[in-house]
Amino acid sequence: MMQFENTTAGKCWRGFFLVGFLYTAAFPQSAWRYRDYQNTTHKNFRYNQLFYQTIAFDQIDYPLLHAAIFFVTNETRVKNNGKPLAFALELERAAYHHSKRMVEQDFFGHENPHDKTRKTTEQRARLAGIKNPLLAENIALHFGIRYVANTPVYPVDPLNGTFSYESDNGPLIPAHTYFSFAEALVKQWMDSPGHRQNILNPRALQLGCGVYFYRDHTFYNMPKFKATQNFQLYREIVSGKATDRWP
């Protein structure tokens, strides 16, 4: 049966808090190392073949995916006459944990309604080791496969979340690569005025991105991600002790 599905960009959020890291472990088996941020920029990241790997949903390299989103965001800023942002691990940590909890606690928003200790962006930033959070945040839902929202689609294998544009036994819609996912996600945000404003904000100094995978059980187990971008505005991050850790 032919079906339709859409994608969602959450309301952008910008808050300014004038109140007011110790990285000890990496995601297991990641091909991306944090030292790679030192020699990779928006100018040369497209030459890194790691970003062109197809995402395997049972073994996602989250640091690599976060890096792809980071560099596509910086590339987009520069194309729009902006300056590239510095990478901040604390912002990536905050973004990842918010995306993870949006999946695990089944909500979508800038405020966590299930945990009063991480309800706001400021609270989450402090848990990630930021002493002086001055954040703007974008969130979104996005497909893990190269599906175009609101396009007719046929479920092929509902158990494994595979789909075809042609028929229920037609060629499968392929999974995204790390790069194509990042491009599609950033484009989704750029097509929304408020999210675009956050991405292009000239007062932003640092950026971290984080996503978390899930299968949409309300739509034939379609593979999706919840995604978060965190921007530090005005002042560079003052690092403190992080409560949140990597898995």
Contact 211, 99 (CB under 8 A): yes
Q: What is the pLDDT of residues 14-63, one digit of tens each?
A: 333 222 223 333 455 789 999 999 999 999 999 999 999 999 999 999 99
What is 8-24+43-233's CATH topology?
A: Pathogenesis-related Protein p14a (3.40.33)
Q: What is the pLDDT of residues 186-200, one digit of tens each?
A: 999 999 999 999 999
CA 156 to chain centre: 27
pTM: 0.90
Q: 171 in helix, strand or coil?
A: coil
Alpha helices in 105-208 (DSSP H): 121-127, 178-190, 193-200
Contact 136, 13 (CB under 8 A): yes
* Cα distance between residue 45 and residue 88, in whole Å: 17
Beta bridge partners of 98: none
In single-letter form, the type of residue at position 218 comes to T
Q: Where are the domains of the chain?
A: 8-24+43-233
**Mean pLDDT, rounded, of the chain:** 91
